């Protein structure tokens, strides 16, 4: 579904990503770890096509089509969606109106907001005055309305209380067609049954993995994916034990 080939990205003229290779197949959920400032959000921003991330080498393919150089709107229409690490406030845009603009069936917007505990937020400007956790739920609600085929989630559980992480987890599972997840075995079985949606999730703590089953993990270090293709929980254990640099050396 998503192929990133030898991707080099600069931000403000400074090289951040130095040759990223990544292949995410339909139905797969990948997890991205890495220290602060290593370029995780840069990678997501480059995949989504934000202009501040300048692709200097390499290419990005989505469903076999090259999308490097395409606009954010085109990528969104192709089925890529993103939940930001630090979502912007949209003054003058009510959350309900934004949801109606992106949802295939605008009449369902109220029903969608209810499970995310945001039904009373629909008249408010997007993210304006929302608490940290409310902003994260608002991001998930916007994605649920958009229903993309491929989701980029930048620290979806950061700043979210323990009970609401479960809610975020349910939303992510719905987005990734993993509803009713009940253990790894079911996850693997479902994969064989033709799940089509896929995603890439950034997490530092791994709390989201308590709720969302994921297939493969990667560590972004020094501008490259230094160890890729391991079980995300195994990787998290290595990072805890050896630190990012040690983990990268050890698994290499």
Tell me whether residue 17 or residue 122 sits nearer to ligand ATP (CB atom).
17
Contact 232, 47 (CB under 8 A): no
Site string for ligand ATP, 77-116 (x = CB under 6 A): --------x-------------------------------
Tell me whether residue 34 or residue 169 sits nearer to ligand ATP (CB atom).
34
User: Applying CB under 6 A, what is the total number of residues that bind ligand ATP?
Assistant: 13
Binding to Mg ion by residue 41, rule CB under 5 A? yes
Which of 150, 115, 140 is CA-nearest to residue 1? 150
Q: Which of 35, 59, 63, 85 binds Mg ion (CB under 5 A)?
A: 85
Does residue 190 sit in helix, strand or coil?
helix
Binding to Mg ion by residue 54, rule CB under 5 A? no
Spatial separation of the C-alpha atoms in residues 131 and 116, rounded to whole Å:
14
Q: From 39-47, 65-73, 86-94, 97-105, give the range in contact with Mg ion by CB under 5 A.
A: 39-47
Paired tokens of 61:
């393919």
Specify the DSSP class assigned to residue 124: S
Alpha-carbon separation of residue 105 from 73, 100, 186, 219 (angstroms):
19, 8, 30, 38
Least distance to ligand ATP from the beta carbon of 181, Å?
A: 26
Binding to ligand ATP by residue 146, rule CB under 6 A? no
Binding to ligand ATP by residue 42, rule CB under 6 A? yes
CB-facing half-sphere around the CA of 150: CA atoms within 13 A: 22
Residue 12 binds: one of ligand ATP, Mg ion, none (C-beta under 5 to 8 A by kind): ligand ATP
Specify the DSSP class assigned to residue 12: T
List the alpha helices (DSSP H) in 79-131: 95-102, 109-113
End-to-end CA distance of the chain: 26
Binding to Mg ion by residue 158, rule CB under 5 A? no
Binding to Mg ion by residue 87, rule CB under 5 A? no
Alpha-carbon separation of residue 146 from 59, 173, 197 (angstroms):
25, 15, 13
Residue 42 binds: one of ligand ATP, Mg ion, none (C-beta under 5 to 8 A by kind): ligand ATP
Tell me whether residue 42 or residue 146 sits nearer to Mg ion (CB atom).
42
Binding to Mg ion by residue 35, rule CB under 5 A? no
Least distance to ligand ATP from the beta carbon of 51, Å?
A: 12
Spatial separation of the C-alpha atoms in residues 158 and 205, rounded to whole Å:
8
Binding to Mg ion by residue 149, rule CB under 5 A? no
Instruction: Report angle CA 23, 26, 29 to the nearest 5 degrees.
Output: 70
Pairing between β-strand 125-126 and β-strand 90-94 as defined by DSSP bridges: antiparallel
Least distance to ligand ATP from the beta carbon of 158, Å?
A: 9
- Please give the residue ranges that form the binding site for Mg ion (CB under 5 A): 40-41, 85
- Please give the residue ranges that form the binding site for ligand ATP (CB under 6 A): 11-12, 14, 16, 34, 36-42, 85
């Amino acid at each position: 579904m998503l192929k990133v080939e030898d991707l080099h990205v600069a931000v403000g003229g400074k090289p951040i990503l130095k040759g990223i290779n990544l292949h995410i197949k339909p139905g797969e959920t990948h997890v991205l770890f890495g220290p602060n400032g290593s370029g995780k959000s840069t990678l997501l921003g480059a995949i989504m096509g934000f202009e501040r991330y300048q692709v200097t080498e390499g290419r990005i393919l989505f469903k076999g089509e090259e999308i490097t150089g395409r606009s954010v709107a085109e990528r969104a229409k192709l089925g890529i969606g993103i939940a930001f690490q630090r979502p912007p406030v949209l003054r003058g845009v009510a959350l309900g109106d934004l949801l109606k603009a992106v949802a295939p069936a605008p009449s369902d917007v109220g029903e969608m907001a209810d499970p995310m505990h945001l039904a009373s937020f629909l008249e408010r400007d997007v993210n304006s005055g929302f608490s940290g956790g409310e902003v994260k739920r608002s991001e998930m609600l916007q994605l649920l309305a958009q229903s993309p085929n491929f989701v980029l989630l930048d620290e979806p559980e950061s700043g979210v209380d323990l009970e609401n992480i479960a809610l975020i987890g349910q939303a992510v599972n719905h987005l990734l067609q993993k509803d009713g997840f009940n253990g790894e075995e079911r996850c693997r079985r479902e994969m064989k049954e033709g799940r089509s949606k896929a995603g890439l999730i950034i997490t530092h703590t791994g709390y989201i993995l308590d709720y969302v089953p994921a297939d493969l993990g990667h560590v972004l270090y020094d501008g490259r994916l230094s160890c890729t293709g391991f079980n995300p929980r195994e990787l998290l254990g290595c990072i805890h034990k050896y630190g990012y640099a040690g983990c990268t050396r050890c698994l290499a």
